[in-house]
Structure 1
Amino acid sequence: MYSALFAHIKRFTHLSEEEELTLSHLLKTVAVKKKAYLLEQGQICRANYFVVKGCLRLFFIDIKGAEQTIQFAIENWWITDHTSYQFQQSSQFFIQAAEDTEVIAIEHHLQEEIFSKIPKLERYFRLVLQKAHQASQVRIKYLYSQTAEERYHHFNKLFPEFVQRIPQKMLASYLGFTPEFLSKIRAKKG
């Protein structure tokens, strides 16, 4: 059941069979239907989610009422509202399934127990967060230094399957332009 997560952890650190067993007793699996929410604005984020299958997105609604996607998570990626999760305060974001999705959740109230029983996981999460932060910085740089068309082509080159997989409206929101503009970019190719 947790083999995808354990394989991901092994990319960063090694857990013994006993540690894997301990961890498996502290995890929870959740199935989420397409368009369903794991978190809505105003709620407290109670878990950090590892995507086993499917796709989640983290977004907010801007002052014009438009959805602004700031993160996607597909297989073997983590997603949460870190501020809400760590400080147990109201979230400013939504986490929604872009596809039928299966996740493994680490609930906030068990996080410290997990870290105390398996200290190696603190290192694992530090490394995962460092990679995520680096990716976020690069994304922000691209938003300010590339044209919308350059951002699309760059993202499409890095993640071609992903571009085909997610709804055009969500992709456009993530890349910082409208779905109509995305249609124009795609039409140029053909």
Structure 2
Amino acid sequence: MTALDKHPEKNLIRLQLSQNSVLKSLDPEAMADLERHLVISDLKKSEILLHQGDHQMEQYFVLDGILKRIVSSADAKEMILRFAIEKDIETSYAAWRLKTAAPYSIASVTKARVARMPLKKWAEFLDAHKPLKESFEFEVMRLMSEIMAHTITLHMLDAPGRVERFLRKYEDLFELLPKKELAAYLNLSPETLSRLKTKHKELFI
């Protein structure tokens, strides 16, 4: 991990942070204040940032690559709850506010780069910037709503319906994600996903 102001690519990273879905409304002074708390991590594929059950939690801003949020059962069965890409955030803010353990893990799907800071520091920053706090907490609720919709989809839609819904909502992500990861997210085999993707293309040629 490297402090942002000491990172050799700090100018590029500052540009990426200014384009982040949550941070893009910050004025230069507030952004400079935030940057003092950020460290940069370059992650290997499958590296874990947060373990389910952890109490030490951080706020993440995705600069490059793809992250996933995973929940594991007692028998080690995993379910992918969501993916986060460049310009997105990842967080366990709700659990931190509730003073509970992290209910899921966060890991890299591909090689990735994130800016990160302790959630305590992030919460203090939010308290000093009320409009940002409102928009951030709205984003946290939106993500929770999306995860709930995805969970319902797995139970209510058949395999073609799950693929069609994903293509309708996240078409750009379809080509970015490793097929094994996307298949796991949709609770399909990679072979079934490949077949349904081909069928989808044939229908829309």
Shorter-chain TM-score category? 0.7 to 0.9
Q: How many residues align structurally?
A: 188
Aligned positions of 1:16-165 closer than 5 A: 16-62=27-73, 65-165=76-176
Which whole-Å CA distance do the structure 2 matches of 1:28 and 1:54 have between them?
Answer: 17
Is the Cα–Cα contact under 8 Å of residues 70 and 79 in structure 2 kept in the other structure?
yes
Higher deviation after alignment, 80-89 or 145-154: 80-89
Is the Cα–Cα contact under 8 Å of residues 45 and 80 in structure 1 kept in the other structure?
no
Q: Spell out, residue by residue over 1:41-65, the C-alpha distance to the aligned partner (whole angstroms, 9 max, x if none).
A: 3323420211111100011233553
Q: Percent identity?
A: 22
Is the Cα–Cα contact under 8 Å of residues 60 and 90 in structure 2 kept in the other structure?
yes
How large is the Cα RMSD of the aligned pairs? 2.6
Who is 1:4 aligned against? 16
Give unpaired runs (5+ residues) of structure 1. Answer: none
Which whole-Å CA distance do the structure 1 matches of 2:50 and 2:61 have between them?
Answer: 14
Which whole-Å CA distance do the structure 1 matches of 2:67 and 2:164 have between them?
Answer: 22
Which whole-Å CA distance do the structure 1 matches of 2:93 and 2:180 have between them?
Answer: 25
Please report the TM-score for the alignment, with normalisation by the length of structure 2.
0.77
